[in-house]
Amino acid sequence: AVRNAIARRRQAENDLTEANDRIAQQAQAQARYVNFAARTMAISDRALVAAEANLRGKEADFKRGVASESDVSLAELALFDQRYYSYVSRLDFLAKIGEFLGTLNQDPVVAALPVK
């Protein structure tokens, strides 16, 4: 019975060590995913600023008579598309942060609650 108890304890310790290693690897991978999503979001935000500037330029060209109404409409459509992609990239970033915090078993909302 003592040998069986010692064997079960060693097995449980090995299982715990393997689980800790697996969680550490998951956290490292998810940290990379968060960084990648942050870079994608930053690129998307810069593209959104460029699309807004493009629309302003097309509107100015239209007022001067250099661009047509369809050019302005195409710039508006490009801006709407870029807004959509910016929202999607922001959503992806927030989802990756959530997964990462879930892996670490950290919840910023719960951490901010007052302790009674």
pLDDT in tens, 5-55: 999 999 999 999 998 899 889 989 999 999 999 999 999 999 999 999 999
**Which position has the token pair 């999607």?**
88
Instruction: List pLDDT tens digits, range 64-87.
Output: 999 999 999 999 999 999 999 999
This prediction has a pTM of: 0.75
Are 77 and 98 in contact, with CB atoms under 8 Å apart?
Answer: no
User: What CA–CA distance (Å, rounded) separates 50 from 33?
Assistant: 26
Q: What pLDDT, on a 0 to 100 scale, did the predictor assign at position 106?
A: 73
First to last CA, the chain: 44
Q: Give the number of C-alpha atoms closer than 13 A to the C-alpha of residue 94, restricted to the C-beta side.
A: 6
DSSP 70: H
